[in-house]
Chains A and B, each alone.
Chain A
Amino acid sequence: MTDLRDLYQEVIIDHAKHPRNFRKPEGANRTAEGVNPLCGDQVTLYLEVADGTIRDIAFQGSGCAISTASASMMTELLKTKTLTEADRIAERFHELLTGAPDPSAEAPELGKLAVFAGVREFPVRVKCATLVWHSLRAALADDHRVVTTEE
């Protein structure tokens, strides 16, 4: 049996209770909104992009611990990354949650976000973790449609 601690690791609880970069940056020049119509979670992601690099990244919204921590930890990791790097990290994160399980596979570029591997054992919660990442992809593509987890 999978332990609840695989889902609610301390770092996740910490970010859920004290989300980092929970604000609307002055210089944001790209925003993307994401909603999960099944549970009502809602997130708005703000990016300040210049010269192909993420100068600032922050978010606002309301959601569960998993979606809030995912957004918070994402903003910490992606600040100062290039758009290409951000895109690759988003792809790695998606694989971590939805790909075939491969314990030997390492994703060093994900850093602390590797703790979300535990969410894989809670299939109904995968969408909570990936919501903000769908929004990131929309922001990277400069796509202004509202992203939903049901597409």
Chain B
Amino acid sequence: MSARPATAPGAGAPPPPALDVERLRADFPILARRVHGKPLVYLDNAATTQKPSAVIAALTRYYSEYNANIHRGVHLLSEEATHAYEEARTKAQRFVNAARREEIVFVRGATEGINLVAATFGRARVGAGDEIVISAYEHHSNIVPWQMLCDEKGARLRVIPMDDRGELVLEEYEKLLGPRTRLVAVSYVSNALGTVTPVARIVAAARRQGVPVLLDAAQAAPHLALDVQALGCDFLALSSHKMFGPTGVGILYGRAAQLEAMPPYQGGGDMILSVTFAKTQYNALPYKFEAGTPNIADVIAFGAAVDYLSAVGLDAVAAYEDALLRHGTAVLEAIPGVRLVGTAPAKAGVLSFLVDGIHPHDVGSILDREGVAVRTGHHCAQPVMERFGIPATVRASLAFYNTAAELDALGAGLRKANEVFGR
């Protein structure tokens, strides 16, 4: 599979409808802001995305009209809140095309989703001498939970290497799979480089060996249509705030058979059927994994974000962003001293780069004064920086509300940086 839709003229499939970006921008109140006297150019979407009015309104409506605890009240407000919360689960189910709604577990974010799998599946199924396979471009959230598990169990972490363009070396991956492999956990899109992982091949090779696969889709969700049944993965984690929803919510998709076999995550209310001091009987899926009062308001607003993004249409988003990414690449390549880090042919949403002789931190400060918000640093992927022998990069990351003119503003800001540093 590829992140890039067929763009060749006459390639068969009709092109997705073009986005009316100016109209969509009006849905995001924050995009009208000015910073340091300049229009905000928000290019830090891989860190978190901005929120449309529909999401903000969903939060306000919940708190002003039907705030109540869920799954227990007999009164109307509780009934309404429970309905909206469970409706969000159905929306999430459709968003990732899960077969059953019980396969969607609400968590705090992709990080918690991965930790949940490490703490339950991992604790039950991984033992001394076993192996977990991750990739060279994982976010720390898909490294550290497995390292902690490996330390506890005496298991071993194996890492799929990447080449100089930032693509995984699949031949090496296939060699890593063996009788001791218990799980393959890889990101769908690299947050530091933008590389789109060839997940179909990753999953197919793992399944041939009977090894389950977890996909960290945090960076993929705002850019590509997700389909867990077509992907064939066993787990998929994503974060609401990276796809135009509120912070503090995410989902873990788990294939029902896997979730059924896993021990519970946290103990508490809502995850039980009955409790005595002698024995506790756990609740059915997905409640077995949702102890305590959940983040009701943000789950409901996440449902609004799913509706919004689905209405915009991920096929149209992918096509638009692909053109935007090409434009951004051309802008950067035209600036003296700029070097792109991560040049895989299949990329989504990320332009990571260095400016010769200017530290990323300084580039970031200069861009900020031009109204351009980017991230600088290691992007919670220090092994990626080490692989390329660099301490940090500047990362401009896109959403569908960005425009070619904004990437031109990025270019102008970088020329200014060269000027400040007398280059």
Contact = CB atoms under 8 A, between A and B. Distances in A.
Of A63, A65, A128, chain B has the most CB atoms within 10 Å of the CB of A65
A52 B366 CA distance: 41
B420 A39 contact: no
A17 B382 CA distance: 25
B203 interface: no
B377 A38 contact: yes
B362 interface: yes
Interface in A1-31: 1, 4-5, 7-8, 13, 17
A29 to B, nearest CB: 29
Nearest to A5: B420
A66 interface: yes
B93 interface: no
A64 B358 CA distance: 8
Contacts of A4: 365-366, 369, 416, 420
Contacts of A39: 360-361, 376-377, 392
B391 interface: yes
Given A4-B366, A39-B392, A13 B361 contact: no
A149 to B, nearest CB: 12
A84 interface: no
A13 B357 CA distance: 11
Contacts of A124: 365
Interface string B17-56: 0000000000000000000110000000000000000000
Contacts of A128: 361
Top 10 closest A-B pairs, CB basis? A64-B359, A64-B361, A40-B391, A65-B362, A64-B362, A8-B420, A39-B377, A40-B392, A39-B361, A4-B369
Given A39-B377, A41-B391, A65-B359, 7 more contacts: A4-B366, A7-B365, A17-B357, A39-B376, A42-B391, A64-B361, A65-B362
Interface of A: 1, 4-5, 7-8, 13, 17, 38-42, 62-66, 68, 122, 124-125, 128
9 contacts: A8-B366, A39-B360, A40-B377, A40-B378, A40-B391, A41-B391, A64-B359, A65-B362, A122-B365
